[in-house]
Structure 1
Amino acid sequence: MVLQDLGRRINAAVNDLTRSSNLDEKAFDGMIKEICTALLEADVNVKLVGNLRKSIKASVNFKDLEPSVNKKRLIQKSVFDELVKLVDPHAEPFKPKKGKPNVIMFVGLQGAGKTTTCTKLARHYQSRGFKACLVCADTFRAGAFDQLKQNATKAKIPYYGSLTQTDPAVVAKEGVDKFKKERFEIIIVDTSGRHRQEDALFQEMKDIQDAVKPDQTIMVLDSSIGQQAEAQSKAFKEAADFGAIIITKTDGSASGGGAISAVAATRTPIVFIGTGEHMLDLERFAPQQFVNKLLGMGDMQGLVEHVQSLKLDQKDTMKHIAEGVFTIRDLRDQLSNIMKMGPLSKMAGMIPGMSGMMQGMDDEEGSLKLKRMIYICDSMTTKELDCDGKLFIEQPTRMTRIARGSGTSVREVEDILTQHKMMAGMAKKMGGNMKNMQRAQSAMGGANKQQQMAAMQKRLASMGGAGGAGGGGMPDLSSMMKMFGGGGGGGGMPGGMDMQAMMQQMGGMMGGGGMPGGSGGAGRGRR
């Protein structure tokens, strides 16, 4: 994964220092040197790295520190804050308004993934209630219109293009005018890839801009662009004055630091990150969440948004959890939902601590283990699926029959039942907490919404397991991981799924986000 190695090296440097018995200025300088080396090797601009070095050194002055100050926490906070500043241009991205046409134009180099990203963004807005469409103004690349047409058809998004008109500005204008008349709210214009040295193509880009007058221009940057990122993005900024960046192909193995350099060079916000080829592989970018994931602290808010976008059916499971019950069928449903969520490596980055546990284990291996668990559940009778697990204690021969029927071992069946027992205990505790929260809310009837929110968040913070894994409802994560990797290397998150669904069911109590302070796993991560 792009930047994963960078995050691992920065994390290792900070952890080595904070675990050191002799935490002095010399050790601190060594940590900064290691962080800077990691950033330079990831293609982050030299000037940026130099500024980062100065900022971290200035924020932790050993000579002026009081003896009572926790040096470890101060260093962790300083590194985290400076990394956030590196990717945060402090500029608000454009927010489309419902009920009016919002024209969004895409620009960028050849092969950056513009056409695919256009469709992903249209689908993103479509799933949030906007009437979205696509316009192909790329008349230069052979097959560009066919690619957009294929993507749009697959995603069920209206599109416009021409196989005869060669002037991209004319095609763009016709398409935008057509969709404006049809009252579309998000009109995305895809353009040809171009390089800063191609003057004619740069003029063409300006002509398209003049023709459609976009509300926002987005530059699409390939994460593997490297040291060219700054020069290219500056040239595009001067010509097209783009207001946002989308970084693509972050699921690759390139360094990826060049994209960070582009943000700093143009002071333009990153709005989304492309994490794969699937239409759902587009994540909203937030500086703190990005650094959380980079340092292995997780991104619980991103996980919740991803779960919500999949519209998974969890009504029965949530009803059971509210009653303090969790059957083997519920576990089976959660395993199936995990399979729908995409590669385990992608999910691992969102869950605090899990990316480290996934090291050495690929998606194929994790998926195979998930499938074997589902095979075990599918070999159970209706009575067994709907039981609380005691049936197997009373009649252990059932485990042998299930193992034979599913082509697995008795040990694997026992592991599933052990996992179910642990999660049933969690469900019982969560069910009681949910009832207590409901009572508290009804008892506060006259209080204003803000007071209710504060009280609810306080109760959530005290719920079982809420603090232990970055506040994301992943109690005893290491225990769950044993199911997948025999103790350290896995990718299972059935418990987390329940928590996310529970949060979703609570009526957007936390504004569609994660646990209180969810996006800021930062605070917890600084411990």
Structure 2
Amino acid sequence: MVLQDLGRRINAAVSDLTRSPNLDEKAFDGMIKEICAALLEADVNVKLVGTLRKSIKHIVNFKDLPPAVNKKRLIQKAVYDELVKLVDPHAEPFKPKKGKPNVIMFVGLQGAGKTTTCTKLARHYQSRGFKACLVCADTFRAGAFDQLKQNATKAKIPYFGSLTSTDPALVAAEGVTKFKKERFEIIIVDTSGRHRQEKDLFDEMTQIQSAISPDQTIMVLDATIGQQAEAQSKAFKETADYGAIIITKTDGHAAGGGAISAVAATHTPIVFIGTGEHMLDLERFSPQPFISKLLGMGDMAGLVEHVQALKLDQKDTMKHLAEGVFTVRDLRDQLQNIMKMGPLSKMAGMIPGLGQMMGGMDDEEGSMKMKRMIYICDSMTTKELDSDGKMFVEQPSRMTRVAKGSGTSVREVEELLSQQRVMGGMASKMSKAQKNMGAMGGQNRQQMAAMQKRMQSLGQGGGMPSGGGGVPDMSAMMKMLGQGGGGGGGGMPDMSTMMKMLGGGGGGGFPGMSSMPGLGGAGGRGRGRR
């Protein structure tokens, strides 16, 4: 993914500068030059890159810096803040309301992936308790209704369309009226693809808008169209005045910078990013987590949301964790859950430091490592699976037997048992901490609550990235571990465990970010083994 390459280049440029023994103006100019070159190669508009360059140089003015200032942290924060500004339109996207119909109309270029994205968005809202449906108002493209019908049937979402009518505005109006009567809350209307040169299709788009009066119009932008994105988005903005953007195909070799330029040019927020062809491959977009992820700092809020959306069964593991126990079976269940979460490359972007730590390891290699660990567990007896692993230490012949049965090595069995012991130790400590908190008197509890509130206010101040680490993430983790945590309980520690299992010792992340004021602990502390 080229966006990840962009993040690596920016990260490397800042890392090289902050590790340099001579942090002078010449080295600083070299870093800015490398960052600008990376952005230009990613198809970001040259004017935007020029503005970003000036802003960073203005913030870090070597001549006016007081002697005591920490130049490394100032440079890191300046780069981070200016990149966030680049993708932040400073406009709030529409938020659908429950209990009332919310009509969402899709517009965009032909081949941008509108129909697939319509279904993904409907499924996204459906999984969050909204009553969602789809209307196909694309009467121009042959097979458009069949495609929407197949997608909607697969996702179990009600749909409406016509194989005979040639008036898209009429079809859209009929579908919206029908679903409003049936009290649907999210009504998504798919329209035909068009280009700014096609005046007739643009007129048709405005007719559909007039017929259905959408609460929100979303433009779908293909990340692969590069510099054309800005001109196309401006043309659509003038005609349809859309209020949000969804960028698709960010999983391929698209530079993606053109789509980012379109956001800056039209001051329109990106609401989602399409990261693949699967129905779950739609990520909510927010400027700070996006840049955090781009720079290897992770997106823990997005990770937790993804885990919860999958509604993984964690009841037994949560019960064991509350009791301070973590069996080999619990470890196997967590490995299986991680496999359900999607490609490891997608998870890596959400976990601080994991993207860099995976290095050359592709999805296939990472997936095979996880599968081999599951094979080891499947070769154990019921008694061994439900144990804390100590019996393998007392009787080493068990390890030899399991290794032979699973087609793996004794060393791999030892590594798995070592991981299980680490998690067992964590579970024991957390259980004791939970009991100690429960034993506190009312006054102590109030003091703890007040202290936690003060810490949270400190962690959330100064523009801290959402889900960027710090106190809020820890409190969320404690909730998930100590209080059941809902569908995605246990997701956070499982992810950090996955880093260790894949061979690393934690996230390197954006250098120094963990200690920067207002940026929480996003970058992690140690640097993973390579």
State yes or no: 1:212 paired with 2:203: no
Q: Which residue does the alignment assign to 2:3?
A: 3
State yes or no: 1:139 paired with 2:131: no
* Residue pair 1:292, 1:521 contacting (<8 A) in 2 also: no
**Structure 2 matches for 1:111-510, cutoff 5 A?**
111-439=111-439, 451=450, 454=453, 481=499, 483-484=501-502, 487=503
Q: Mark the CA change 1:522 to 1:82 in structure 2 (over 3 Å): closer, same or farther.
A: farther
State yes or no: 1:100 paired with 2:125: no
Q: Mark the CA change 1:117 to 1:181 in structure 2 (over 3 Å): closer, same or farther.
A: same
Q: Deviation of residue 476 (structure 1)?
A: 12
Unpaired runs of 5+ residues, structure 2, are 461-468, 478-491, 508-513, 526-530
* Residue pair 1:77, 1:526 contacting (<8 A) in 2 also: no
Once residues 76 and 44 of structure 1 are traced to their aligned partners in structure 2, the CA distance between those partners, rounded to angstroms, is 21
Once residues 428 and 2 of structure 2 are traced to their aligned partners in structure 1, the CA distance between those partners, rounded to angstroms, is 40
Q: Which residue does the alignment assign to 1:41?
A: 41
SS at match of 1:303: helix
Name the stretch that deviates more: 431-440 or 128-137: 431-440
Q: Deviation of residue 436 (structure 1)?
A: 3.7
SS at match of 1:349: helix
Q: TM-score, with normalisation over the residues of structure 1?
A: 0.88
State yes or no: 1:79 paired with 2:79: yes
Q: Deviation of residue 404 (structure 1)?
A: 1.4
Question: What is the one-letter code of the residue matched to 2:80?
Answer: F
Once residues 440 and 279 of structure 1 are traced to their aligned partners in structure 2, the CA distance between those partners, rounded to angstroms, is 46
Q: TM-score, with normalisation over the residues of structure 2?
A: 0.88
* Residue pair 1:297, 1:522 contacting (<8 A) in 2 also: no
Summarize deviations over 1:105-157 as a string: whole Å, max 9, x none. Answer: 00000111111110111111111111110000011111111111111111111
Once residues 336 and 118 of structure 2 are traced to their aligned partners in structure 1, the CA distance between those partners, rounded to angstroms, is 30
Once residues 476 and 79 of structure 1 are traced to their aligned partners in structure 2, the CA distance between those partners, rounded to angstroms, is 31
Instruction: Work out the number of aligned pairs and report it.
Output: 493
Name the stretch that deviates more: 140-149 or 428-437: 428-437
Question: What is the one-letter code of the residue matched to 2:231?
Answer: A
* Residue pair 1:76, 1:526 contacting (<8 A) in 2 also: no
Q: Deviation of residue 319 (structure 1)?
A: 1.5
Q: Mark the CA change 1:412 to 1:442 in structure 2 (over 3 Å): closer, same or farther.
A: farther
Q: Deviation of residue 522 (structure 1)?
A: 6.3
Question: What is the one-letter code of the residue matched to 2:129?
Answer: G
Unpaired runs of 5+ residues, structure 1, are 492-515
Q: Deviation of residue 254 (structure 1)?
A: 1.6
Q: Mark the CA change 1:451 to 1:479 in structure 2 (over 3 Å): closer, same or farther.
A: closer
SS at match of 1:434: helix
Once residues 163 and 45 of structure 1 are traced to their aligned partners in structure 2, the CA distance between those partners, rounded to angstroms, is 42
Question: What is the one-letter code of the residue matched to 1:82?
Answer: E
* Residue pair 2:470, 2:521 contacting (<8 A) in 1 also: no
Q: What do you get for the CA RMSD once the two structures are aligned?
A: 2.8
* Residue pair 2:298, 2:522 contacting (<8 A) in 1 also: no
Q: Mark the CA change 1:305 to 1:247 in structure 2 (over 3 Å): closer, same or farther.
A: same
Q: Which residue does the alignment assign to 2:463?
A: none
Q: Deviation of residue 244 (structure 1)?
A: 0.3
* Residue pair 1:289, 1:521 contacting (<8 A) in 2 also: no
Q: Mark the CA change 1:122 to 1:410 in structure 2 (over 3 Å): closer, same or farther.
A: same
* Residue pair 2:334, 2:494 contacting (<8 A) in 1 also: no
Summarize deviations over 1:331-382 as a string: whole Å, max 9, x none. Answer: 0000010011000000000000000011211111111111111111011111
Question: What is the one-letter code of the residue matched to 1:263?
Answer: V
* Residue pair 1:358, 1:490 contacting (<8 A) in 2 also: no
Q: Mark the CA change 1:161 to 1:476 in structure 2 (over 3 Å): closer, same or farther.
A: closer
SS at match of 1:62: coil
Once residues 490 and 151 of structure 1 are traced to their aligned partners in structure 2, the CA distance between those partners, rounded to angstroms, is 39
Q: Mark the CA change 1:241 to 1:416 in structure 2 (over 3 Å): closer, same or farther.
A: same
Q: Deviation of residue 313 (structure 1)?
A: 1.0
Q: Deviation of residue 398 (structure 1)?
A: 0.8
Q: Deviation of residue 435 (structure 1)?
A: 3.0
Identical-pair percentage: 80
Summarize deviations over 1:51-88 as a string: whole Å, max 9, x none. Answer: 00011011111111111110000000000000000000
* Residue pair 2:134, 2:189 contacting (<8 A) in 1 also: yes
* Residue pair 2:351, 2:495 contacting (<8 A) in 1 also: no
Q: Mark the CA change 1:258 to 1:442 in structure 2 (over 3 Å): closer, same or farther.
A: farther
Question: What is the one-letter code of the residue matched to 1:255?
Answer: A
Q: Deviation of residue 438 (structure 1)?
A: 4.3
